[in-house]
Amino acid sequence: IPQEIQKTIDVVDIFRRSEDVSPIVDQAIQLKQKFGRPLVVWMQLDIVNQAAAEKAKQAGLQVVMDKCLMKEHLHRRT
């Protein structure tokens, strides 16, 4: 993650296979500890990793799994 944007990230939106999620969540946790953000880890459709989700929750992050961010955004706007 580029250093110049690390302080401003609200959502880490993950487009990787489920088994590849843990290192990304670890990075999100490090940023949360350092900057108080991100607030949310979002795993896109068909991406589920319970262990990584639990780790993120314990670090104070909100977690969404197996949902499309765009679809959820559009659904909430209507």
pLDDT at residue 78 is higher than 80: no
Q: pTM of the entire structure?
A: 0.90
pLDDT at 71: 92
User: Please, what is the Cα angle at 29 between 26 and 32, to 5 degrees?
Assistant: 155
Decide: helix, strand or coil at residue 29. Answer: helix
**CATH: 3.40.50.620, 3.30.70.20, 3.40.630.10, 3.40.50.720. Which one for 3-77?**
3.40.50.720
* Domain positions in the chain: 3-77
Amino acid at 50: Q
* CA dist., res. 41 & res. 37, Å (int): 10
| Per-residue model confidence as pLDDT tens digits over 12-66 | 999 999 999 999 999 999 999 999 999 999 999 999 999 999 999 999 999 999 9
